[in-house]
Homo-oligomer: A and B are copies of this chain.
Amino acid sequence: MNTTLTNEQQRLARMLKALGNPIRFQIVEYLAASQSCITNDIVRALPLAQSTVSQHLKVLREAGLILGEIEGPATCYCLDVAGIQWLKEQIGNWLPGCCPSAGPLIQL
C-alpha cells in the first residue's frame, strides 16, 4: 500500500474530518438553511460559548467548507459552494468499482 495520501485525498480527508463533528455538521446545515451569515446567530442557536463556536468556524473555514467575510463590526459566514461542490464530486466518483450495481454518479 502506498503509505501516503495524495494532496486531493488529504483535502478530502480534512473536509470529512471537519464534517464528522456533529456541532460542525449542524453549523453547515444551519448556514445552508439560512443562506447567511452573522456569527452571533449561530452562537445564540447553539449551547456553546462564543469562543468555542468561533473555533469550530475556523476549522470549517480551513477545511474549505465555509467562507467568512468581515462586514463592519461583524463577520458574515456562508457556505463555500465551490468547496462543497468539490466534496460532493469527490464522493460521487469515489470507489467507482466498489458498488458495481450502481456505477459512478453523473453530474447533471
Given A1-B30, A5-B25, A21-B17: A87 and B91 interface contact (C-beta under 8 Å):
yes
Q: Tell me whether chain A's interface is mostly helix, strand or loop, or mixed.
A: helix
Q: Does any Cβ of B come within 8 Å of A74's Cβ?
A: no
Question: Who on chain B is nearest to A9 by CB?
Answer: B25
B87 touches A99 (CB 8 A): no
Instruction: Quote the shortest CB–CB distance from A71 to chain B (angstroms).
Output: 21
21 A-B pairs (CB sep. < 8 Å): A1-B26, A1-B30, A1-B45, A1-B46, A3-B45, A13-B22, A14-B20, A17-B21, A18-B20, A19-B20, A32-B95, A79-B98, A84-B95, A84-B98, A88-B91, A88-B94, A92-B92, A102-B107, A102-B108, A103-B107, A106-B106
